[in-house]
Structure 1
Amino acid sequence: MLIALMDGRALTATELAGLAGITKQTASSHLAKLVDGEVLTVEAQGRHRYFRLSGPHVADLIEALMVFSSDAVPPLRIGPRDPSLRKARICYDHLAGEMGVRLFERMQADRWLQDDLTVTERGNDKLAEIGLDFRDLPPRNRPLCRACLDWSQRRQHLAGRLGKAILERLLAQAWARRLPDSRIVSFSPEGERRFNGWLG
């Protein structure tokens, strides 16, 4: 059920039960405990109650735990079987998978980011190429840049306000799109070419 909420959506107990393959009563019992533990928040609208992750820190924790859960089973390869999900997906509100890891590694290798994950002048120039100025991002109780362990790649991708803003720009420029009812981020061939060109 928690994995189903990793894309930032809010879902009902019935929807979550169906996704998990359990009864609504079992789902409701687990959901109540997760709300009590502040893992989830619940919002009532009309006769429906919608559950969502209580914040990006929970998504990051789930990603990290998925690394260990895949260690418990000896698969031949790590991460999801669906190659599209391995390639690019939403992790709460930022880009994950191979594309997200490649972005973060390039940002570090080419010194877009300092070791403490502050944006350098070079980083600001590269972000400007896609119409982003990190100084314009609204301040929130959330870091600008933070590393998030990618459970399918076992390496880190970029989270935080900048990670969210970059994904929003990729979608706004139609380099990629979110598939409906899925965490998959699908890059068009032209979008992937532009993304790779931007990374250099």
Structure 2
Amino acid sequence: MKDGPDIARIASLIGDPGRANMLAALMSGKALTAGELASEAGVTMQTASGHLTRLEEGGLIARERQGRHHYFRLADTDVAGVLEALMGLAAAKGQLRTRTGPRDPELRRARVCYNHLAGEVGVMLYDGLRARGVLTGEGDGITLSEAGRAEMTALGVELNQMSRSPECKSCLDWSARRSHLAGRLGRGILDFTFAQGWAVRPTGTRIVRFTGIGEGAFRKAFQV
């Protein structure tokens, strides 16, 4: 195809192993330094700088400056959604990393996907909200019902009205290979969960670790 979107360029940016590792690290939702990303990619600082320049020029990451320090994050939720979908495709086709460990079951159970809840608990939440009519519609057309909006307001879940992200959005979960909830509602629920002390996020990981009491409170609050 000689015109239209250039998927080859985007694919080549993501396809390099070093850049892919950097992007995967940024799925934590945190802004990281070039040094931190170089460590994630297993490359030198000079090589990392070249990778980051290409990713920034390609619109996949954004740079934040604080004084002399530069931090990098994913450009937006669309990039995060594509990465999560590619992770799901890779898992479905058997393209898995050889490194495994005790974190793997926890990542599958509950983790951060950019800024919202993913894993088995995230899918459970999404299915429960849909079953109760809190969410209506299908696929990218899901919306928060009026009854659902009243319920979230009563709970104290806040939606960032300043964000340009959609209010509700489905995101394909790489481990469960089913949808979980993204968008401003997904972010609001995750922030609310942390604020209530129901779960914690161990330093340096994407794991969301619920306490025994916290998971029960989470299930009760969202009726899942």
- Following the alignment from structure 1 to structure 2, what is the Cα–Cα distance between the partners of residues 42 and 131? 32
1:40 aligns with 2:61: yes
How many residues align? The count is 195
Match of 1:132 among 141, 157, 161: 157
Q: Which residue does 1:8 correspond to in 2?
A: 29
Q: Which residue does 1:107 correspond to in 2?
A: 129
1:26 aligns with 2:47: yes
Q: Which residue does 1:197 correspond to in 2?
A: 220
Go from structure 1 to structure 2 and tell me whether the alpha carbon gap of 1:24 and 1:139 turns closer, same or farther (over 3 Å shift). closer
- Give the aligned residue type for 1:140: S
Q: Which residue does 1:58 correspond to in 2?
A: 79
Go from structure 1 to structure 2 and tell me whether the alpha carbon gap of 1:12 and 1:65 turns closer, same or farther (over 3 Å shift). same
- Give the aligned residue type for 2:135: L
Q: Assess if the C-alpha contact under 8 Å between 1:130 and 1:169 holds in 2.
A: no
Go from structure 1 to structure 2 and tell me whether the alpha carbon gap of 1:90 and 1:30 turns closer, same or farther (over 3 Å shift). same
- Give the aligned residue type for 1:131: G
Q: Assess if the C-alpha contact under 8 Å between 1:145 and 1:158 holds in 2.
A: yes
- Following the alignment from structure 1 to structure 2, what is the Cα–Cα distance between the partners of residues 48 and 54? 18
1:164 aligns with 2:187: yes
- Unpaired runs of 5+ residues, structure 1, are none
Match of 2:142 among 108, 117, 125: 117
- Following the alignment from structure 1 to structure 2, what is the Cα–Cα distance between the partners of residues 74 and 61? 17
Deviations 1:24-80 (A, max 9, x none): 2222211111011010112333443211111111111110111222344356xxx99
1:73 aligns with 2:94: yes
Q: Assess if the C-alpha contact under 8 Å between 2:158 and 2:188 holds in 1.
A: no
Deviations 1:123-167 (A, max 9, x none): 234424522366xx4253221000011111101111111111111
- Following the alignment from structure 1 to structure 2, what is the Cα–Cα distance between the partners of residues 90 and 17? 21
- Give the aligned residue type for 1:109: A
What's the TM-score once normalised by structure 1's chain length?
0.88
Does the residue aligned with 1:107 lie in a helix, a strand or coil?
Answer: helix
- Following the alignment from structure 2 to structure 1, what is the Cα–Cα distance between the partners of residues 127 and 60? 29
Go from structure 1 to structure 2 and tell me whether the alpha carbon gap of 1:148 and 1:192 turns closer, same or farther (over 3 Å shift). same
Does the residue aligned with 1:132 lie in a helix, a strand or coil?
Answer: coil
The within-5 A match list for 1:74-93 is 82-93=104-115
Deviation at 1:172, TM superposition (A): 1.0
